[in-house]
Each structure stands twice: as structure tokens, then as C-alpha cells.
Structure 1
Amino acid sequence: MDTQSKIYVAGSRGLAGSAIVRALKAKGYENLVQRTSQELDLRNQAAVDDFFATEKPEYIFVAAARVGGIHANNTYRAEFLYDNLMIEANIIHSAYRHEAQKLLFLGSSCIYPKLCPQPMKEEHLLTGFLEQTNEPYAIAKIAGLKLCENYCRQYGVNFISAMPTNLYGINDNFDLANSHVLPALMRKFHEAKINGDPAVTVWGTGTPLREFLYVDDLADALIFLMNHYNEIEFVNVGTGQEISIKELALTIKAVVGYEGDLVFDATKPDGTPRKLMDNSRIAAAGWQPKTDLKTGLEETYDWFLQSYDSLRGREAA
């Protein structure tokens, strides 16, 4: 990409998409195309194809998706499968039809088997059963990366895929009903601090191990891949470091400054016991993350504090 290349960021208002837009602008890319979901329903094939016919973007970042934590994935199973299949299929096919130079599809680490060997290597895909609670979302993401792979094989296009580990950061979803574990914990601790609550309850046992990547590091990785990676094989993007949910909760508790107790509700699901990415492929290509977890949490909490009133206002509307 050069600074005048026409770049479409699908999902530019979400956690990953907004980080990609910030990073592109910071690096001097000026010709960005964005559409909100109200302006363009990516589940509508005709609308997506009309958009591509009119705008003809040269480079596409596919960060649009229906996302959520364990509760949302397990509750809206049909919607998570249908919406994500439609979004990715429409964008990928229209990018091919309208001769985009390159496309990068953003997947998820949940594509790997529930009991996957650790750390998870790209070749472990489809070697075992998926985690039941997010199986529909995982199947949709597997379909997306396989679309990219097979459009490359059949049509000779340059469509690549990246599978990030658990993301967090600026513009995350802090809705307690549908958010991921890290922003949910941050909000719980913040509100408990404000309310003077004696304890905060955390779902599960606290024992599962997770890897977390600051979303601005992901954006840097994706721009790096768009400029330097042209292989059919998809790429893991993570930190290579893991932390238990209990230790994560304690770290967030310290960042927020909450002084009450932690209570773990073992009746709630833990999800996959361990999820650590093998990042040797992207490391060999020349990329490494820059932000440690504590620094990322502090920056996220600063943004959360600035945005808290507007977040609550949107939920109340």
C-alpha cells in the first residue's frame, strides 16, 4: 500500500476496525473508505456488491463481525453463525469480482479445537472438536479463512487471513451482558469502586489461561501483514504470553484501584481451559508486539474513564 491507495476498513467503528483506522491515519494513509452498519448492511449481498462497484477499494481489511463473550455467543448462536457467514462471504466475493489488489480477513483464536495442543499452531486447525459455547462463531471464522485460502487457489488473488488472540483496548465493548471477560471485569471493578461494594463476582473458577493482545498492537500487525505477507496460509497474531483469569482479575483490580474482595462463581462456564497462540510464523516474518499487559490495561482504563458517561448513555437509550 502507498499513502494514496484506496483502503476500505470494514467494521471501522468496532474494537479492531477503529484501531486499524487510527493506525493507518498515524502512518500517513489518507484515502480511507468507511461505512457504518446503518449506511451499508454487509449481510446484504446486492448492497455490498454495489458498494464495491462504486468505490472500487484497492485494499480491504475485513474487521466487520458480530462479536461477544461467552454469554452472547451461547445465546445468539444462529445470529452469530448467519451474520458472520454473510458478512465475510459478501465482502470476499465482491473484492474478487471487482479486482481488489489485496484483502486481509480477520479471524479469531476460537477457530482452534477446545483441547488443542499448546501453544496453538496454524496447522492445528480442524484437528479436534470446537468449544461448544462459541462453536457457531468459530465455524463462521473458519469459513472466512477457507474462503480466502480457496479464492487464492482457484482465482490467484492475494487474500490473506490473520487470527488474533483475545483483544482488548480503546473502543472495546463494556456492556456487561455481551462483552468479553476483560472489559466486563474492568467495568465491574470500576462500578464496585464507585458504589463501595464489598466484593466483585467473577464468572467461573478463575483457572483458565488466556492470552491478551492490545488492539493497537493488532492494528500494527495487520498493516505489517498487508504490506509484507503474501502467503496462502493464515497467520496467528498474539503475544505468546498467558495469564490466568484470576491473575487477570487481580491485575485489573489493581489498575482500577478497587479494594474489595474477589468471589469466583464456579457454577458459570469457564470456556476453553487454555488458549495460547504459537506466533512463530508472524515473528519469522518480522513482527513483534510492543505493549505489555499492564500498560495496555492502564491505557484502556484511561479511555474507559473518559467514555464512561457516554457508554452508559448509549445503553440507557
Structure 2
Amino acid sequence: MSLYFGTETAKKSIVIVGGDLLIGYFTALEFLKLKDDGFVSTVRVCYMNKDSDLVKELSHKGAHMMHFDLDDDKTMEKMYHQMECALILPPMMAKDMTHSKKLIQMAKHGQELRHVAFVSMMNIHKAKDMECIKHIYDMEQEFMTAKKQWETACLLSTTMLMNVLFYLRRSIQDTSQLMWPTKNEMVSMVDAMDVAKAIRNLATRCRPKDSPAIEKFVHFHITGMHAMSGEKLAMTCSHALGSKVVLKECSSKEMADYLSKTGEVTKEFIPVLRKIFEMAMKGYFKETHSDLEKLLGKEPLSTEAYFEKYRKDFKPHH
């Protein structure tokens, strides 16, 4: 059993905190579909970045948008006002990431809140160093302390690559080489869209009729289903793109230099990509398992299907 956001007879109001993040954006889209179906009555999306194109698009699609400031307790309190359900994606771009604990602390004051999910993203963009990881673990502990007051609570930990190619595919010019730190490290091919669907499915599961009660707390750990070695990925890329892709081992600096040449769009992701690869080499992602297929009800997009779908976005190097 998982987080319980509604029944066939009761509509729910949900707040998604972090709509300016890619996963928050796609998750909001998933819940807006449920609103159209009459399952959710209100979708409120809170965000920090006023200039985000994702925020503007969600507003056009009918979401109730609300800007918040981690240093302004009044706006923080309003986020959860008259909301029964909350999906919290902590904004790691805050100067002092410990402020993100406020998202949970303020949720304690939400008088109508009954169901809360907290998505702990280990490697979201803008994360600078291992200190960020410590803050995320601290926030998880804060959530574990707060969960007692809600009817249901769910913690989703993600330690995935968030699909490097998802971010970079439109600006990669050279597909003849695949830069990779070592030959044996693993990479996830899961899209942010897949994760959003998993969150939606997790949040909207109803209590079985023969079940006397729902679980008070559940902790899901989501990683990619299609992890593979660099060599296998290069082979798969070659097959999907119709041209030979050669694996080239490189240092983290070489990786950053390579990515910096692919276009302005990628520059903000270079530090976190470098950190992810460094963490992978240290074994941080070895002891993980996946619930994603179960949550999606299907396998996430395979590597082959991914390249086939986005083939037009890759421009062969001549």
C-alpha cells in the first residue's frame, strides 16, 4: 500500500512544491490530467524561480500558481492553506539548503493536510558538492519526525542520473564519441516524465476494499531500470543512431570540457554531472534497487526506444 490521495467519492486538493523543477513540472502535468478527470479538485503549484518557462507553461495549463520565498514564513504558511495533500520537492537551489527543512516544518502547520509525500532527490541540478547530500539526509530525518501527525506519509528517495541525455539531447553535436569516466560505471536511462508518472501512480492508489486500513508510512526508493555499463551504452547508442559510437574514458575535467562545448543550455548542469560521475565511481549508487517498473505499471523507456524517439534531436558529427 502506498500514499493515499483520494477515493472514488472524494475529490482532493493537492499542492506540489517545486513546480520550477523538471520533475515538479511533469508531476504537475500528471495531476492536472487527474483534475480534468474529476479526481483532483485543485492543483496548486508552488515555485521559487519566477522566470522559469516551466512555471509559465503550468499557469497556462490551469494550475493555481504561487510564488514562495524560503525566508518569508507568511508565504510558506499559505502554501499548504486549505490543501489536503502535499507533494514536496525540495528546492536545492536555495543559498542555504538547510532552509528547505522549512518546507516540512511549515507542512506541520497545515491544518487540512492529511497526506504528505516528500521526494528526496539526491542529485538534482544546482547541487554543488557532498554537503548537499548531507542536507538532503537531514531533510529526510526531519520528514521522519513530522510524519506521525499525518494520516499517511510517503518518502520517495531518488538516486538516479535523471537522464543526462534528457537534458543534453538538443545540444549534443558530436555523437561519434561517448565520454565516460570508467568502463564499468552504471547510468540510468529514466526520464523525468517517467518519474512524474510514478509519483502520480504512487499518490493516487486507492485503498483496496478488503483492506481495513492504509499503511501510515511507506518509503520507496526509485532508481533507473535500464542501468548499464559505458561499453554497453556505447553499443546501444551505435545501434540506435545508425552510426558507430566509440566509448572514450575520460577524467571529470575532460567530461566538463566536452559538455561545455555542446552549448549554453548545458552549462548549469556540468557541475552536478561531474559530481554524479564522481559519486558513481565511489560506489554511491551500487547498493540500490528499483520500484519504478512497479509504480509505472510498465517498464520505463528502454535505451533503444529512447534514442529512436529522439533520433531527430541528435545531429551526427561530420
TM-based fold match above 0.5: yes
Q: Is the 8 A contact 1:167 1:214 kept in 2?
A: no
Residues 267, 156 of structure 1: alpha-carbon distance in 2 compared, 3 angstrom cutoff: closer
Residues 11, 184 of structure 1: alpha-carbon distance in 2 compared, 3 angstrom cutoff: closer
Letter in 2 for 1:56: Q
Q: Secondary structure at the match of 2:67?
A: coil
Deviation at 1:208, TM superposition (A): 0.9
Post-superposition CA distance 1:10-43 (Å, at most 9, x none): 1123221111112212333351112332362442
Task: Return the alpha-carbon distance in structure 1 between the equivalents of residues 233 and 168 of structure 2.
Answer: 9
Post-superposition CA distance 1:72-95 (Å, at most 9, x none): xxxxxx94xx23x312x2221122
Tell me which residue corresponds to 1:15. Answer: 22
Q: Which structure 2 residue ranges, 5 or more long, are not aligned?
A: 51-65, 206-213, 254-273
Q: Is the 8 A contact 1:42 1:90 kept in 2?
A: no
Aligned: 1:279 with 2:266: no
Post-superposition CA distance 1:260-281 (Å, at most 9, x none): 6553313646422352522369
Post-superposition CA distance 1:32-58 (Å, at most 9, x none): 1123323624422414434236x4322
Letter in 2 for 1:51: K
Candidates 218, 222, 225, aligned match of 2:202 = 225
Tell me which residue corresponds to 2:153. Answer: 159
Candidates 116, 119, 123, aligned match of 1:106 = 119
Please give the TM-score of this superposition, normalised by the length of structure 1.
0.63
Q: Secondary structure at the match of 2:15?
A: strand
Residues 255, 10 of structure 1: alpha-carbon distance in 2 compared, 3 angstrom cutoff: farther
Post-superposition CA distance 1:242-300 (Å, at most 9, x none): 212343355456555665655331364642235252236995xx764432323662487
Tell me which residue corresponds to 1:60. Answer: 86
Q: Is the 8 A contact 2:169 2:313 kept in 1?
A: no
Please give the TM-score of this superposition, normalised by the length of structure 2.
0.63
Tell me which residue corresponds to 1:126. Answer: none
Letter in 1 for 2:194: D
Q: Is the 8 A contact 2:116 2:150 kept in 1?
A: no
Residues 43, 6 of structure 1: alpha-carbon distance in 2 compared, 3 angstrom cutoff: same
Aligned: 1:46 with 2:73: yes
Q: Is the 8 A contact 2:104 2:143 kept in 1?
A: yes
1:170-249 to 2 correspondences below 5 Å: 181-183=164-166, 186-187=169-170, 190-192=172-174, 199-200=176-177, 202-228=179-205, 230-249=215-234
Aligned: 1:290 with 2:272: no
Post-superposition CA distance 1:165-191 (Å, at most 9, x none): 42546xxxxxxxxxxx43466356x32
Residues 205, 11 of structure 1: alpha-carbon distance in 2 compared, 3 angstrom cutoff: same
Task: Return the alpha-carbon distance in structure 1 between the equivalents of residues 44 and 116 of structure 2.
Answer: 14
Task: Return the alpha-carbon distance in structure 2 between the equivalents of residues 278 and 260 of structure 1.
Answer: 29
RMSD between aligned alpha carbons?
Answer: 3.9
Count of residues in correspondence between the two structures: 251
Q: Secondary structure at the match of 1:139?
A: helix
Q: Which structure 1 residue ranges, 5 or more long, are not aligned?
A: 68-77, 111-132, 170-180, 194-198, 309-317
Q: Is the 8 A contact 2:222 2:291 kept in 1?
A: no
Deviation at 1:211, TM superposition (A): 3.2
Task: Return the alpha-carbon distance in structure 1 between the equivalents of residues 117 and 70 of structure 2.
Answer: 18
Letter in 1 for 2:145: N
Task: Return the alpha-carbon distance in structure 2 between the equivalents of residues 250 and 48 of structure 1.
Answer: 51
Q: Whose helix proportion is higher, 1 or 2?
A: 1
Residues 221, 201 of structure 1: alpha-carbon distance in 2 compared, 3 angstrom cutoff: closer
1:119-158 to 2 correspondences below 5 Å: 134-153=129-148, 155=149, 158=152
Task: Return the alpha-carbon distance in structure 1 between the equivalents of residues 246 and 300 of structure 2.
Answer: 28
Tell me which residue corresponds to 2:105. Answer: 93
Residues 258, 231 of structure 1: alpha-carbon distance in 2 compared, 3 angstrom cutoff: farther
